[in-house]
Amino acid sequence: DTKYEMGRDENGEILLIDEIHTPDSSRYWIADTYQQRMREGREPDNVDKEFLRLWFAENCDPYEDDVLPPAPNDLVIELSRRYIYLYETITGRSFEFPEADQPIETRLASNLAGIA
C-alpha cells in the first residue's frame, strides 16, 4: 500500500515529485502472515510509521504548530527498528550502522559511488 505524489512541470507533463517505496510513503504487509490474517478478516501485519503519526496527532497539530514536540525516545527507537527490519527483509542484507565519526558528506559520496 503506497502513495505517489505527482505534479506538472511548466509544459504540463506529469512528474513524480517525491520519494517512492520508502516506509515514509508506503505500508509494507508481511507476506508470511498475510493469507492467514486475511482469512480471519483481520488487517495484515504491516510495517509503517502510522504509530508515530498518531502520536503527533494526539500531542500537537503538525499542520498548524510552528514547533513540534520531540517524539519520545521509545517511539524513535521503534521507528528505527521497523526501518531496519524492512531494509533487511527487502535486501536480504544485515543493516550496518555507519561509523559515527565519518562526516555525512563522505559517507553519502561513498555510497553513491557504489551505484554508478
What mean pLDDT do residues 19-24 have? 86
Query: Pairing between strand 28-29 and 6-8?
Result: unpaired
Greatest mean pLDDT among 22-26, 87-91, 96-100 lies in 87-91
Q: State whether 23 and 71 are in the same domain.
A: no
**Are residues 58 and 115 located together in one domain of the fold?**
yes
Same domain for 42 and 6?
yes
Judgement on whether residues 65 and 95 belong to the same structural domain of the protein: yes
For residue 10, what are the contacts with CB-CB under 8 A and spacing of at least 6? none
For the chain, the domain total comes to 2
- SS3 track for the chain: CECCCEEECCCCCEEECCCCCCCCCECEECHHHHHHHHHCCCCCCEECCHHHHHHHHHHCCCCCCCCCCCCCHHHHHHHHHHHHHHHHHHHCCCCCCCCCCCCHHHHHHHHHHCCC
Residues 78 and 55 reside in one and the same domain: yes
Of the pLDDT bands very low, low, confident and very high (cuts 50, 70, 90), residue 116 is low
Domain that holds residue 27: 1-46
CA–CA dist 13, 17 (Å, integer)? 12
Judgement on whether residues 30 and 61 belong to the same structural domain of the protein = no
pLDDT tens figures, 41-67: 999 998 988 899 999 999 999 889 999
Q: pLDDT-based confidence at 94, cuts 50/70/90?
A: very high
Average pLDDT, stretch 5-14? Answer: 96
